[in-house]
Amino acid sequence: MVLECAWTWIPHLWDTKIRIHKLHFDMRDLPQEILIDILSRLPGDCVLECRRVCKQWLALISTPSFVEMHLKRATSVFLVQVCRDFSHEKFDMFIFDEGAKANKKFKKMDAKLMNFEASLMPRLCGSCDGLLVFCQTSPNVSFVYNPLTGENVSIRNPVPSSADCAVCGFFFHPISKDYKLLFVHKKGIRFGYFIYSLGSQLWRKLDDFSYQPRSLACSILNGALHWMVKRNEHGLNPPCSNSIMIFNMDTEEFRHMPHPGAKCSSSWVHNSAYIFERKGKLAFCSVSDKQFVYVWVLEDYEKWIWVEGYLINLHMDVEPHITIVNIQDDELLFMWGSIGVFRCNMRQNAVKQIRKVGLKKLLRWYAFDFIGIIIPYTMTFVSPSGFK
């Protein structure tokens, strides 16, 4: 079972193994760089099984260099969390992999294995290199979890007495080779920010800023995190000229920039705007109230020059609300209320629903109370404390 998983990734390797066996050649005599190259191309769950083959494989797979190589080659899938009620006491988690075989495209994850120490089940906020971030308001604590290895780190928020303190960013800093979490704390009309290092387990206070991100899901490009700005406590949106928020990972400074196109015609349009990284550039998506999606591309980052890339007609009523999940190459992935998850080829303007039995039943269970989160996810062996 374990060897079969590995051989399928190298053409004709099984026949080669038989010929090698006849020549009395031990597989352990293969150069380590060849073994590492083969194993680093396998899916994470297959690598997990390969650890049990022999001590040599276990040692090779456990090195930081292998973890980093496997991370670079791992492919992204989608992780789905669906809460069963608004208190988030129970939820289901699934991995959706369109590249897998038909019977393995939709795989349920056992949330019970997380063993979170919380009164209410935490809600999924985001992912970075296979590490998941869950937020919990009672008590005010966050969790970083690797579902492949089972490693779990609990982090008490920097202002534990306040319910207005939460994770707003999660990223890997390539210079320090450390994973960091950004926390935001509401303090009057401004917001305080803290940064937490998973490697050193230390907090640092950053400068205050006038705005806060709409969600933890950010786009990382040119050494910076990018979000859409969240509306304030009075339900008012920031001016369109200040609608994109940027955090420089090196200088740890905040700034804001305008979104492309005309000013938002309504609060609904403003809150239906999203920003993503696509092919090494930022992409801005705006859903209008007439079933159209406008996609802009940031052609010049330094001068902040945007070019309108696509005008997409979804050919559907936009009620209930559309939530854009991600852009992959030329495809737009979005959720349409409780109806389902869809893909739209932006070049061909063709919309296709992702029809999988598990997801279809799941959405039907929750009807109009559906609370769903879909994020890109990569199955890796990265530790919550970094490359150790």
Residue type, 138: S
Q: Which residue has the higher pLDDT, 8 or 78?
A: 78
**Residues 6 or more apart in contact with residue 62 via CB below 8 angstroms:** 51
Q: Is residue 40 part of a domain?
A: yes
Taking residue 344's Cβ as centre, other Cβ atoms within 10 Å add up to 22
Q: What are phi and psi of 288, to 5 degrees?
A: -85, 175
From 71, 99, 122, the end of a domain falls on 71
Percent of the chain with pLDDT over 70: 73
The pLDDT of residue 247:
96
Q: Is residue 372 part of a domain?
A: no
In 3D space, the residue among 195, 212, 213 whose CA is nearest the CA of residue 204 turns out to be: 195
pTM of the model: 0.81
DSSP for 103-134, written as a single string: GGSEEEE-GGGG----SSPPEEEEEETTEEEE
**Whole-number pLDDT of residue 307:** 94
Tell me which of 71, 91, 106 is where a domain ends: 71
User: pLDDT per residue over 218-274, tens digit each?
Assistant: 899 999 999 999 877 666 778 899 999 999 999 999 999 999 988 887 777 888 889
Cβ atoms 272, 214 nearer than 8 A: no
pLDDT recorded at residue 162: 65
Please write the tens of the pLDDT for every residue from 86-122.
455 556 677 777 666 655 666 666 555 455 555 556 7
For residue 260, tell me if it sits in a domain: no
Distance CA 285, CA 295 (A): 5
Within-domain flag for 14 = yes
Expressed as residue numbers, the domain containing 324 is 266-354
**Within a domain: 387:** no
pLDDT of residue 282: 93
Asked if the model's pLDDT at residue 359 lies above 60, the reply is: no
Q: Determine, yes or no, domain membership for 305.
A: yes
Looking at 71, 104, 122, which one is the last position of a domain?
A: 71
Does residue 43 lie in a domain region? Answer: yes
Q: How many domains does the chain have?
A: 2
Question: Distance between CA 126 and CA 209 in Å, rounded?
Answer: 22
In this prediction, residue 91 carries a pLDDT of 63
Q: Are 44 and 74 in contact (CB under 8 A)?
A: yes
Q: Model confidence over 312-334: pLDDT tens digits? A: 887 776 665 777 888 887 888 88
At a CB cut-off of 8 Å and minimum separation 6, what does 226 contact? 218, 219, 220, 244, 245, 246, 275, 282
Integer Cα distance of 105 and 63 in angstroms: 30
In a domain, 291, yes or no: yes
